Structure 1
């Protein structure tokens, strides 16, 4: 396979990792980590994803040892891609892991990477317009440090991956919001239907019917939607729909007159 075909395959795989908007973070990270060493002239690669918010950081590598290193580094908060929002991802030139800068900044990460046979590390940020989501980390030996041209290609791969992840996340957030709005609308419709049932059967205003419904839900410590659904489905508490029950807006119209007529006839 030619390098051009290999590169095209990686881009296609990255684009396909979020089919139909379904977010597959581990799959996307694995595609980038697995394809980067041969494409970019590195001995190994890892991808660290630090999205922030409620999402937990994730990491994967091109081989099991690197994957283990990066996942351990998540708890250490060390390495080019592990600081909050990829703050350490400015190591965009080959940094010697046995140098004073790396040892001082990453006292556990640097020796662990050296023990795996890697002597240099390069971090390429995963960037979107508003922030950095992590980093593509390239490991190499002293004689096979990625070239400037390879790092330029690495930046393109990292940027494409970051945009793919961000768009998939936005699509997922959009679906979540749509679902919440649909549920809220459905709940509102059911509540309005229940108000209509109660108002009709007890001769209440719609406001009085809603107050009766809400008071019942509160006194029984039940969700308003559940109580309303039972009323609409015809198996709610009879006290909510019984015409003889007084509502919050007063007695049922005509009831007093009926009592007077009954009294006058005895």
Structure 2
């Protein structure tokens, strides 16, 4: 088992990520998208193997995809013993990088010996986020020890996000309906934003740019969404004078 030479030229990255996003737009099933994601983990990140684990609503983690049989065994092991880089990244909500698995025996006593026996000597695990919650993790495994690489982590985050999109996308007429709803809602919000900016600018005698900044700043300070603040001003519930 050997690591691949990472295909990180602009054309290679564009081709691989473009293939995944095309599948998402087409409405391909989750299994097909996840397969492309784990393959991209190997190809773009120069790894020996890759896998995706998700949080089981009933507890623990489940394996949804793996680039090959050994990777699947490693992912299943983590789910069973409840420790390992992917399990830890899900629990911590942050990237977990093990540059030398051999030095992590105390940290993951049951996982490391098996991983080493299967030929894996390093790992990068990236959490998968959805609506502020960690819903799983992308695990990338290496046959050789690895040094820290910020580019690898960035690519891992992109692939983890694409995996989430593959899991949550809707299909058929409902997907088209959701697009219509979102489009109309967005256009409606833009109308309210224009009204609110005009009200604030007119009331305070300032420019539209300054009025926009006041609305955004107020939303941040009060920990509200800009949409809520804008509608409150447009509906006369929020006094423009209180924005400063």
Quickly name the TM-score band, shorter chain normalised.
0.5 to 0.7
Moved more, 88-97 or 37-46: 88-97
2:50–2:67: 8 Å Cα contact kept in structure 1?
yes
Structure-1 separation of matches of 2:154 and 2:47: 14
- Deviation (angstroms), 1:131: 0.8
Correspondence for 1:7: 13
Report the CA distance shift for 1:147/1:115 in structure 2 as closer, same or farther (over 3 A): same
Structure-2 separation of matches of 1:92 and 1:133: 16
2:83–2:108: 8 Å Cα contact kept in structure 1?
yes
How many aligned residue pairs are there?
Answer: 169
Structure-2 separation of matches of 1:12 and 1:51: 29
Structure-2 separation of matches of 1:158 and 1:112: 25
Match of 1:96 among 89, 94, 100: 100
> Aligned runs of 1:107-146 on 2, under 5 Å?
107-145=109-147
Match of 2:48 among 29, 43, 47: 43
Q: Secondary structure at the match of 2:86?
A: coil
Deviation digits for residues 189-222 of structure 1 (CA, Å, limit 9, x no counterpart): xxxxxxxxxxxxxxxxxxxxxxxxxxxxxxxxxx
Unmatched runs of 5 consecutive residues or more in structure 2: 1-6, 178-244
1:14–1:28: 8 Å Cα contact kept in structure 2?
yes
2:42–2:50: 8 Å Cα contact kept in structure 1?
yes
Report the CA distance shift for 1:51/1:5 in structure 2 as closer, same or farther (over 3 A): farther
Structure-2 separation of matches of 1:149 and 1:12: 18
Q: Which has the larger radius of gyration?
A: 1
Structure-2 separation of matches of 1:138 and 1:19: 25
2:34–2:166: 8 Å Cα contact kept in structure 1?
no
Unmatched runs of 5 consecutive residues or more in structure 1: 179-266
Structure-2 separation of matches of 1:61 and 1:145: 23
Correspondence for 1:231: none
